[in-house]
Amino acid sequence: LAKNKRSGFMTTFDQLQKGIRKNARSNDINSYLRSLTRDAISYLANNASIVDLTSKVTGKEYFSYSIDGTKSRAVNKLLYRDMEMAEIFLELLQSDEIRGNISSDDITSACYTITMSLACYIDITNKGDRQTPGTFFEYLITYMLTKHFKSDPSTRVRVDIGDDKVSLTMDLILSVDDDKTKYHIAVKNSTRERASEIWAHQRILDKAFGDNTYTGLFIGLCETKLDHKINEVTEICVPDQWRAYQQFLSALHTIYYVDVPRAYKNLNQKPPYIVVKQIGDFYYDVPQE
Amino acid sequence: LAKNKRSGFMTTFDQLQKGIRKNARSNDINSYLRSLTRDAISYLANNASIVDLTSKVTGKEYFSYSIDGTKSRAVNKLLYRDMEMAEIFLELLQSDEIRGNISSDDITSACYTITMSLACYIDITNKGDRQTPGTFFEYLITYMLTKHFKSDPSTRVRVDIGDDKVSLTMDLILSVDDDKTKYHIAVKNSTRERASEIWAHQRILDKAFGDNTYTGLFIGLCETKLDHKINEVTEICVPDQWRAYQQFLSALHTIYYVDVPRAYKNLNQKPPYIVVKQIGDFYYDVPQE
């Protein structure tokens, strides 16, 4: 039975994957997200036990789901909610009525719950699979952004190098309002040693197409690390490196996290002023198309 | 007995690690490198069998060491030699007499043999450990470069950001000839998605200290990938991304590989002219201090 359930779950995931490629902002995507979240939450509630973790992050508490000694990643207790919150958000997302009807905090919690329930489900049922949770987060964000901007996603730009037209791959490129506004949006579960790439790509766009042609955003899930041996959670942050990137490489407009790392929160208070906010703020910052 | 041998091997590795931190260009380093290479080569010769691999790289052939079904990474047949070649190179390295006494091809083969014998030994005796082979390559290169430049290694630079002095970590910083010449040298086993960091760091140095203050080099091992299921070897290269980095981020002076990836070999033939050479050429390009 458990095996059948998992196979049904992965079939829905495959449908989501194909759906995103076909039409990232169709209502089908919404029902796949809803179905996967519901199944993951109910599987975890019925089968997993809760393991309390030691938090090394001031102001944050974490737990982990566990089955037969296999532990999921660390889950932030304050952010993680239930299916009801996820449903409310997905409902409003489908009808393009987010702004004004749900608070920034609740949007953030809903995104966290949707992403982390699936991630924990995969952590436990397919140990070592980092790719499925990673792409799932990208799909959720792609759906949210393409809905918001009423624009189809692209991952490619063509730039001139010498006599060649060279095609480069970015995480997400959105062209809005008849090409009047363009966004370069990096989407990553966590940055680790890959943060420089975000500012590097933004600089390529600034130089190839002119400053301010592409507005640069980065959307991340979290920067937590769980030491499985001692059940201890830390946040891996490199604020000085980030400040150097913003100063010497390019200027990202805003960085949105679902679980905002403490060490990045106040980077807007001194030069070069990196603005880091929770994902829910996006809907109150950026006017809808 | 096998366990005792491995424990002796790791003791020598720890001595190498401590030695590099204490004095990267002492003769002790040379004997640790020699001892580890001798032990790895003889262990592999006496215990492992050779598995032929399917090469998807034109002009390169590969094999893998195997014990009880555990396979090592892919080894380039033409580059991999024996202890004698490694000894000759390490001997000349110790007496600072490389240039003119050993060809660029033989230097390259010796570096490959030293690095890959240890890497294969670790692949087989401590499956999943990627870190030990990675740091070993960094130690070999650090020893070679600090000897060549008669300069102690550093990994930190301090840059001004706003009113702050911020300390940034680079792979290797060498200050030569009473600070008249400075090198920023990235050292990595393979670049994968981390290549942009090399050009990003170079740009930070160019902007913070002025163009041409730091000469930028990258030294890499190889870009091969072995599919363990079908025994097939490919090279993972992104030449267009590299050209964009060289054009829009910063200009690296030269890139040296031990096993030069085919797709990077000819990047010097059109703008923005990235020079990629085999590691042995370093000794014929850069005058010794």
* Residue in A190, A249, A266, A273 to test binding to B, most B beta-carbons within 10 Å: A249
- Mean pLDDT on A165-183: 94
Backbone Cα Rg of chain B: 19
Q: Is the pLDDT of residue A42 over 60?
A: yes
Contacts of B169 in chain A (CB under 8 A): 241
ipTM of the complex: 0.91
pLDDT tens-digit series, residues B207-222: 999 999 999 999 999 9
Partner-chain contact B200 A196, CB within 8 Å:
yes
Per-residue pLDDT, B4: 76
Cα nearest neighbour of A241 on chain B: B168
- Mean pLDDT on A241-269: 97
* Residue in B161, B166, B205, B270 to test binding to A, most A beta-carbons within 10 Å: B161
User: What is the least distance, in Å, from the CA of B251 to any CA of chain A?
Assistant: 14
Contacts of A208 in chain B (CB under 8 A): 248
Q: Is the pLDDT of residue B1 over 60?
A: no
Contacts of B243 in chain A (CB under 8 A): 161, 164, 166
Which residues of B sit within 8 Å Cβ distance of A? 159, 161-164, 166-169, 193-194, 196-197, 199-201, 203-204, 207-208, 240-241, 243-245, 247-249, 270-272
Partner-chain contact B194 A194, CB within 8 Å:
yes
Q: Is the pLDDT of residue B37 over 60?
A: yes
Q: Is the pLDDT of residue A4 over 90?
A: no
User: What is the least distance, in Å, from the CA of B180 to any CA of chain A?
Assistant: 24
- Mean pLDDT on B151-180: 94
pLDDT tens-digit series, residues B16-27: 999 999 999 999
Per-residue pLDDT, B234: 98
Q: Is the pLDDT of residue A109 over 90?
A: yes
Q: Is the pLDDT of residue B255 over 80?
A: yes
Query: Residue A197: which of B193, B243, B247 has the nearest Cβ?
Result: B193
Answer yes or no: are the C-beta atoms of B149 and B283 closer than 8 Å. no
Cα nearest neighbour of A272 on chain B: B162
Question: In terms of pTM, does the model score above 0.90?
Answer: yes
- Per cent of chain B over pLDDT 70 is 99
Rounded distance between C-alpha atoms, residue B128 and residue B115, angstroms: 17
Answer yes or no: are the C-beta atoms of A132 and B209 closer than 8 Å. no
Q: What's the pLDDT band for A229 if we cut at 50, 70, 90? A: very high
Instruction: Fill in the DSSP letter of residue A270.
Output: S
- Mean pLDDT on B103-111: 98
Angle between helices A104-125 and A83-94 (to 10 degrees): 120
Query: Residue B244: which of A168, A194, A272 has the nearest Cβ?
Result: A168
Answer yes or no: are the C-beta atoms of A51 and A226 closer than 8 Å. no
Cross-strand bridge partners of residue A75: A63
Neighbours of B287 (CB within 10 A): 8
Per-residue pLDDT, A2: 67
Neighbours of B269 (CB within 10 A): 8
Per-residue pLDDT, A6: 83
Question: How much of chain A is in helix, strand and coil states, percent to nearest 5?
Answer: 45, 25, 30
Rounded distance between C-alpha atoms, residue A256 and residue A145, angstroms: 12
- Which of helix, strand or coil describes residue A244? helix
Per-residue pLDDT, A1: 53
User: What is the least distance, in Å, from the CA of A140 to any CA of chain B?
Assistant: 23
Answer yes or no: are the C-beta atoms of B220 and B255 closer than 8 Å. yes
Q: Is the pLDDT of residue B2 over 80?
A: no
Contacts of A272 in chain B (CB under 8 A): 161-162
Answer yes or no: are the C-beta atoms of B234 and B190 closer than 8 Å. no
Q: Is the pLDDT of residue B68 over 60?
A: yes
Contacts of A128 in chain B (CB under 8 A): none
Cα nearest neighbour of A206 on chain B: B248
Partner-chain contact A162 B199, CB within 8 Å:
no
Mean pLDDT of chain B: 96
> Distance of CA A135 to CAs A38, A40, A187, Å?
18, 16, 10
pLDDT tens-digit series, residues B227-237: 999 999 999 99
Q: Is the pLDDT of residue A94 over 70?
A: yes
- Which of helix, strand or coil describes residue A11? helix
- Per cent of chain A over pLDDT 90 is 93
Contacts of A200 in chain B (CB under 8 A): 196-197, 199-200, 245, 249
pLDDT tens-digit series, residues A27-36: 999 999 999 9
- Mean pLDDT on A66-79: 97
Q: What's the pLDDT band for A91 if we cut at 50, 70, 90? A: very high
Cα nearest neighbour of B195 on chain A: A197
Contacts of B267 in chain A (CB under 8 A): none
Which residues of A sit within 8 Å Cβ distance of B? 159, 161-164, 166-169, 193-194, 196-197, 199-201, 203-204, 207-208, 240-241, 243-245, 247-249, 270-272
Query: Residue A244: which of B166, B196, B249 has the nearest Cβ?
Result: B166
Q: Is the pLDDT of residue B121 over 70?
A: yes
Partner-chain contact A207 B248, CB within 8 Å:
yes
User: What is the least distance, in Å, from the CA of A71 to any CA of chain B?
Assistant: 20
Q: Is the pLDDT of residue A77 over 60?
A: yes
Per-residue pLDDT, A178: 86
Query: Residue A194: which of B163, B193, B271 has the nearest Cβ?
Result: B193
Partner-chain contact A241 B168, CB within 8 Å:
yes
User: What is the least distance, in Å, from the CA of A165 to any CA of chain B?
Assistant: 10
User: What is the least distance, in Å, from the CA of A70 to any CA of chain B?
Assistant: 19
Chain position carrying tokens 């966004």: A183
User: Chains A and B: how many Cβ contacts under 8 Å?
Assistant: 88
